[in-house]
């Protein structure tokens, strides 16, 4: 399922991909649900236990994430509960979650403060994400421009 089209939704900034993304997943609970869903399918109860989130807020965020095509649901055997899992669009948020994690590692902790780490299957830390241009050269905010829609 794709997110609501521009005609069906009120966007903060209709022509900006960053603003639309924030509109879809920009609150803390939505991003933490996506982060936890990356570990695999989970039920409402599992999300609630992991996050310590109020039931009404969790229900609202899960509903929105499903409506916006980031999560999908399936019934558990017996059909009494639902399991939520990432769609392709949800899995595509992995790089975003890694970027937020790496920013947090660099700016949200003191040097000696304990923190979780993300490692590859061999137990090695991930390399820093560095945006690159078409030629492979590192790009920064100072070396890029946004071409706005008129």
Q: Residues 86-90: what's their mean pLDDT? A: 98
Q: Residues 101-125: what's their mean pLDDT? A: 95
Q: Give exposure, 95-125, as e/b (b: 16+ Cβ within 10 Å).
A: eebeeebbeeeeeeeeeeeeeeeeeeeeeee
Is the whole-model pTM more than 0.75?
yes
27-45: per-residue pLDDT in tens?
999 999 999 999 999 999 9
CA–centroid distance for 38 within its chain:
9
pLDDT of residue 80: 82
Q: Residues 77-106: what's their mean pLDDT? A: 94
Q: Residues 131-144: what's their mean pLDDT? A: 97
- Above 80 in pLDDT, residue 108? yes
Q: Which two tokens stand for residue 74?
A: 């399936």
Query: Structural domains in the chain?
Result: 6-91 (1.10.10.10)
Other Cβ atoms within 10 Å of 37 Cβ, number: 23
Tell me which of 28-37, 78-87, 133-142 is least confident.
Answer: 78-87
> Helix (H, G, I), strand (E, B), or coil: what is residue 85?
strand
Q: In which band, very low, low, confident or very high, does the pLDDT at 2 lie, cut at 50, 70 and 90?
A: low
pLDDT of residue 115: 93
Spell out the residues 6+ positions from residue 130 whose beta carbon is closer than 8 angstroms to its own: 138
pLDDT of residue 3: 52
């Amino acid at each position: 399922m794709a997110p609501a089209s521009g005609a069906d939704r009120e966007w903060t900034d209709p022509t900006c991909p960053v603003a639309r993304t924030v509109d879809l997943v920009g609150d803390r609970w939505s991003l933490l649900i996506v982060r936890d869903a990356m570990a695999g399918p989970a039920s409402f109860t599992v999300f609630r236990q992991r996050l310590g989130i109020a039931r009404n807020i969790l229900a609202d965020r899960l509903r929105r994430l499903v409506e916006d095509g980031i999560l999908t649901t399936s019934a558990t055997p017996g059909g009494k509960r639902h399991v939520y899992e990432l769609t392709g669009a949800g899995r595509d948020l992995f790089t975003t979650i890694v970027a937020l994690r790496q920013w947090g590692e660099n700016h949200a902790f003191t040097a000696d403060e304990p923190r979780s780490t993300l490692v590859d299957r061999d137990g090695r830390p991930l390399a820093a994400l560095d945006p690159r241009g078409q030629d492979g050269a590192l790009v920064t905010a100072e070396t890029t421009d946004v071409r706005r829609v008129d």
